[in-house]
């Protein structure tokens, strides 16, 4: 088989199309032939700076969809030929993967491989943010950073499905139409901070109920200033940097949280339940992932370069 392996940390040039031995499924593992892999900013962070579990050399990628080809010892509930998707399996940029059964869900017929690969990590992140982190209800106003990105578009649709109002932030004017198409009620162009006054204008001076902030330290303070008293600042995503802050720096008695999607799916039972809820939204037409680009798996370096340029919208996918 072939896989995208980084031999050292750095730019997209460290990603190489590498021939490797076919994996064999171990105890509790399922051998899957890749159909589609998802690309995430997490992958970029793993490539550039590493982090726990990402020492070089390593095969990049953490999510995707495919078809079962073989079972390891002790696997139950799966059979060769099953269509499956997985949540957070490091090494997903590969033609063949041995995936722990705990990370797998079966795909219903109504959910395509591309849709599954587009929602496993980002969809579960958006679901976590709009339920356990701050359950959006009718009348709530949410600010969504990077509203034309993969997570942002899913967040917007889930907020609207819950009856909320969305103020979307995008980095370029040409992305505004994409955010509006997903349901954003208002879209502001902002490349960093400084949007809080406009958010307060749009909320009659009160502020937003929640800010979903994946923008990093540049947006940290403005996100907090945009909130109503006792509002929630959900600062999410790895590799963003952690601003230095004292509790007394928090304005308006707001709540600051750092949601980690793994806490939303600590068991396979939780994974099946949460993905099932997302699949229901897809069946109902209330959640439609936007595919922003398709690349050959061997061309993953170009997908990373495009993602880092901030020129893309929606989800980027890799196809063998």
Give the mean model confidence (pLDDT) for residues 264-279: 98
Cβ–Cβ under 8 Å, residues 91 and 19: no
Omega within 30 of 0 (cis) for the link into 57: yes
Structural domains of the chain, ranges and CATH numbers in brackets: 2-107+290-319 (3.90.180.10), 125-262 (3.40.50.720)
What is the model's pLDDT at position 53?
Answer: 85
What is the model's pLDDT at position 313?
Answer: 87
- What angle is formed at CA 51 by the lines to CA 94 and CA 97, rounded to 5 degrees? 20
What is the model's pLDDT at position 204?
Answer: 97
Express each pLDDT in 68-98 by its tens digit.
999 999 999 999 999 999 999 999 999 999 9
The pTM (predicted TM-score) of the whole model is 0.94
**Residue 9: C-alpha distances to residues 40, 44, 51, 57, 279 (Å):** 16, 10, 11, 9, 36
What is the model's pLDDT at position 72?
Answer: 98
Give the pLDDT band (50/70/90) at residue 239.
low
Is residue 241 predicted with pLDDT exceeding 90? no
**Percent of the chain scoring above 70 in pLDDT:** 99
What is the model's pLDDT at position 240?
Answer: 64
**Residue 115: C-alpha distances to residues 120, 288, 315 (Å):** 9, 8, 10
Express each pLDDT in 139-171 by its tens digit.
999 999 999 999 999 999 999 999 999 999 999
């Amino acid at each position: 088989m072939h896989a995208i392996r980084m031999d050292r940390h750095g730019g997209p040039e460290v990603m190489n199309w590498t021939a490797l031995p076919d994996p064999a499924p171990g105890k509790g593992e399922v051998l899957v032939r890749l159909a589609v892999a998802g690309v995430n900013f997490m992958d970029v962070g793993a490539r550039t700076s590493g982090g726990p579990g990402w020492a070089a050399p390593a095969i990049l990628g953490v999510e995707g969809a495919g078809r079962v080809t073989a079972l390891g010892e002790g696997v139950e509930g799966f059979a060769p030929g099953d269509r499956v998707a997985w949540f957070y399996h490091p090494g997903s940029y590969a033609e063949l993967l041995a995936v722990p059964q705990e990370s797998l869900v079966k795909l219903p017929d109504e959910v395509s491989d591309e849709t599954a690969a587009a929602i496993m990590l980002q969809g579960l992140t958006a679901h976590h943010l709009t339920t356990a982190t701050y359950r959006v209800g009718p009348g709530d106003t949410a600010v969504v950073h990077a509203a034309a990105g993969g997570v942002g578009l899913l967040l917007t649709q889930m907020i609207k499905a819950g009856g909320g109002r969305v103020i979307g932030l995008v980095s370029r004017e040409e992305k505004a139409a994409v955010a509006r198409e997903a349901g954003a009620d208002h879209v502001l162009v902002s490349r960093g901070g400084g949007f809080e006054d406009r958010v307060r204008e749009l909320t009659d001076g009160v502020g937003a109920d929640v800010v979903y902030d994946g923008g990093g330290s540049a947006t940290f303070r403005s996100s907090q200033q945009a909130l109503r008293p006792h509002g929630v600042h959900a600062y999410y995503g790895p590799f963003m940097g952690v601003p230095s802050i004292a509790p007394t720096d928090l304005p308006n008695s707001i709540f600051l949280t750092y949601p980690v999607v793994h806490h939303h799916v600590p068991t396979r039972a939780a994974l099946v339940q949460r993905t099932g809820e997302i699949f229901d939204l897809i069946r109902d037409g209330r959640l439609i992932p936007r595919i922003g680009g398709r690349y050959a798996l061997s061309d993953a370096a170009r997908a990373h370069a495009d993602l880092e340029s901030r020129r893309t919208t929606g989800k980027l996918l890799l196809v063998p």
